[in-house]
């Protein structure tokens, strides 16, 4: 069993330890064990990570984060940045996983697509920390939406993340924070990462949905990939 498979197994053991809200019917329709985590997709060697809130129905069925309507906007934008053209091919969009990492604050789908509670996020935080600090080799994270960005609050200085979020230029600026993760020996490790927030690309986000593709292209000019 590889190190990443061990981490996935640890996440599932935590999910089995105590009940929490999971959209059971969606997992049943996808023929996926509800406690099995869809932890990430993409390349752990990539310099860039896209970080979302949690899974939707399409993500459970595909066993990949960010592959529904919002995720396709992200994949389409990244594909366009690489190839200087758009594509309607799902196979083409899948190729972006060779160059990026895709993950979420919690590797499960909540009922009704409501955000997970702080308690649930806290339960699974150590595993996301390990993914990002020990397994992923990159250091640039494009966060999607408020919940995804504020997940990083513990890694900034006192009030730093919330203060940054209040800035009018938050979608054009970046914030460096020190991720922390504890290894199996109990030793804490730190890793500086650059956060580059964007709004969530949901069709329900009327303020930013139409602007998201252009905002993503601008962000991708700022990062190495």
Domain positions in the chain are 3-220
pTM: 0.97
Q: What is the pLDDT of residue 1?
A: 78
For 3-220, the fitting CATH number among 3.30.160.270, 3.30.56.10, 3.40.718.10, 3.40.470.10 is: 3.40.470.10
Strand ranges for 129-222 from DSSP E: 140-143, 175-182, 188-195
- Percentage of residues of the chain with pLDDT beyond 70: 100
Rounded to whole angstroms, the Cα distance separating 188 from 85 reads 43
Per-residue pLDDT tens digits for 196-219:
999 999 888 889 999 999 999 999
Q: What is the pLDDT of residue 203?
A: 86
Per-position DSSP letters for 28-84, written without gaps between them: HHTT--TTS---EEE-TT-SEEEEES---HHHHHHTSSS-SHHHHHHHHHHHHHHHS
Q: What is the pLDDT of residue 102?
A: 98
Is a pLDDT exceeding 90 seen at residue 172? yes
| Segment 126-130 mean pLDDT | 98
């Amino acid at each position: 069993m590889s190190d990443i498979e061990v981490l996935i197994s640890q996440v599932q053991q935590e999910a089995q330890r105590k009940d929490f809200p999971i959209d059971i019917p969606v997992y049943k329709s996808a023929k996926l064990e509800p406690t099995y985590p869809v932890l990430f997709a993409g390349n752990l060697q990539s310099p860039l990570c896209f970080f979302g809130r949690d899974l939707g129905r399409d993500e459970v069925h595909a066993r990949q984060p960010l592959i529904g309507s919002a995720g396709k906007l992200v994949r389409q934008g990244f594909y366009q940045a690489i190839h200087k053209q758009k594509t309607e091919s799902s196979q083409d969009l899948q190729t972006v996983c060779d160059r990026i990492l895709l993950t979420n604050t919690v590797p499960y789908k909540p009922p009704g697509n409501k955000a997970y509670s702080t308690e649930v996020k806290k339960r699974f935080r150590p595993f996301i920390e390990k993914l990002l600090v020990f397994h992923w080799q990159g250091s640039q994270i494009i966060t999607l939406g408020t919940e995804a960005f504020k997940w990083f609050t513990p890694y900034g200085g006192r009030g730093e993340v919330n203060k940054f979020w209040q800035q009018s230029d938050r979608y054009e600026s970046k914030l460096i924070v020190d991720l922390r993760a504890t290894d199996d020996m109990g030793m804490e490790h730190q890793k500086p990462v650059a956060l580059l927030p964007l709004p969530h690309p949901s069709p329900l986000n009327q303020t930013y949905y139409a602007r998201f593709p252009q905002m993503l292209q601008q962000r991708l000019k700022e990062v190495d990939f």
